[in-house]
Amino acid sequence: MNNATPRFAVIGHPVAHSRSPQIHAAFAEQVGISLVYDRIDAAPDAFANTVEYFFSTGGQGLNVTVPFKEEAWQLAQNRLSDRARLAAAVNTLWQTDAGLHGCNTDGIGLVRDLQRLGLLAPGARVLLLGAGGAAKGVIGPLLDTDCERLHVANRTAPRAQSLLQAWLQQQPAHAERLTAGAIDPALSEQSWDLVINATASSLQGQSLDLPTELYRPDTAVYDMMYGPTPTAFLTQAATHGVTRLADGLGMLVEQAAESFFIWHGARPQTTPVIETIRSQMTATVR
């Protein structure tokens, strides 16, 4: 490596656990390019200065993870992609002569993984659990799949309704397909093709207080979180007879692939990278 080698990084706090360097190194090897990809642990009050320093010293692109996605959105406010504008969060930054640009690849990463796994088809009825930033970032790409209905359910109904109203102010045409409310028994009375967990419950090793009989035998269940063993959410679904289960490792790799494409103009293969990381995680618990 020399000083001309393009530099990239993931920035967050904490960030030592991030698999982004491994993922982007694998992508670069696939397409035959050289790059340096680091981790940057930024202090909570130093994000903007850290980003400015990175690009002013020749950095080419940043992946942004918690807790800085909304702040990244503010920094790139003048040059946001449509996905980032609607999500009100940015996970991909790059610099041109015009200034700082921002995009959100989380939603398209989720959709591509769901399609790769055969869990999402046009006309699906989708239940999205959670109304925080993770949910907000995937609503647009999910609606773009022509799902019949997307319902956002949250522990507290007002937060879900607030997300809904904010979205419909920008995209009123989605009013017939996008709904929101509380996680309550009424959800069991409806038929869902796909249930997605966008809450942080699995990070805390906790299952959700979901209505009984929420799932049908053919319902697909997806957790945005991932780990070496099934998450609490997936384990809970399995006890209700669900067999079509997947965690968010593929989403992680797919959203990275979209960032890679934005930066390099090359689209890498994701399945080999997902399989490699999965094997590595599985080996750690043997």
Using one digit for the tens of pLDDT, what is the confidence trace for 154-184?
Answer: 999 999 999 999 999 999 999 999 999 999 9
Residue 1 has pLDDT above 50, yes or no: no
Average pLDDT over residues 54-72: 95
Contact 12, 43 (CB under 8 A): no
- Between the alpha carbon of residue 31 and those of residues 12, 206, 267, the distances in Å are 27, 40, 8
Residue 232 has pLDDT above 60, yes or no: yes
Q: For 13-27, what is each residue's pLDDT tens digit?
A: 999 989 999 999 999
Q: What six digits make up the tokens of 105?
A: 């690849």
Residue 112 has pLDDT above 50, yes or no: yes
Could you write out the DSSP letters of every residue in 211-280? Answer: PTT---TT-EEEES---SS--HHHHHHHHTT--EEE-THHHHHHHHHHHHHHHHS-----HHHHHHHHHH
Contact 248, 226 (CB under 8 A): yes
Dmax of the chain from CA atoms?
Answer: 61
**Residue 22 parent element (H or E):** helix 20-31
* Gyration radius (Cα) of the chain, Å: 19
Q: For 66-90, what is each residue's pLDDT tens digit?
A: 899 999 999 999 999 999 999 999 9
Average pLDDT over residues 24-49: 97
pLDDT reported for residue 113: 98
- Between the alpha carbon of residue 231 and those of residues 200, 246, 247, the distances in Å are 11, 10, 8
pLDDT reported for residue 203: 77
**Residue 84 parent element (H or E):** helix 82-87
3-state secondary structure of 5: coil
Report how far residue 222's alpha carbon sits from residue 214's, in angstroms, rounded to the nearest whole number: 14
Encoded amino acid at 113, one letter: D
Residue 286 has pLDDT above 70, yes or no: no
Residue 2 has pLDDT above 50, yes or no: no
Dihedral, 211, 237, 66, 8 alpha carbons, nearest 10: -150
* HEC string for 149-194: EEEEEECCHHHHHHHHHHHHHHCHHHCCCEEEEECCHHHHHCCCCE
Encoded amino acid at 140, one letter: G
Average pLDDT over residues 232-250: 95
Q: For 172-227, what is each residue's pLDDT tens digit?
A: 999 999 999 999 999 999 999 999 999 988 878 888 999 989 999 899 999 999 99
Q: Position of tokens 């698999």?
A: 19
Average pLDDT over residues 47-61: 97
Q: What six digits make up the tokens of 120?
A: 């999402």
Instruction: Please tell me which residue in 24, 69, 85, 101 is annotated as part of the active site.
Output: 69
pTM of the model: 0.94
Q: What six digits make up the tokens of 215?
A: 């799932």
pLDDT reported for residue 285: 67
Q: For 125-150, what is each residue's pLDDT tens digit?
A: 999 999 988 899 999 999 999 999 99
Contact 76, 225 (CB under 8 A): no
The chain-wide mean pLDDT, for the chain, equals 94
pLDDT reported for residue 219: 96
Higher pLDDT, 282 or 279: 279
pLDDT reported for residue 204: 81
Q: Tell me, yes or no, if 69 is annotated catalytic.
A: yes
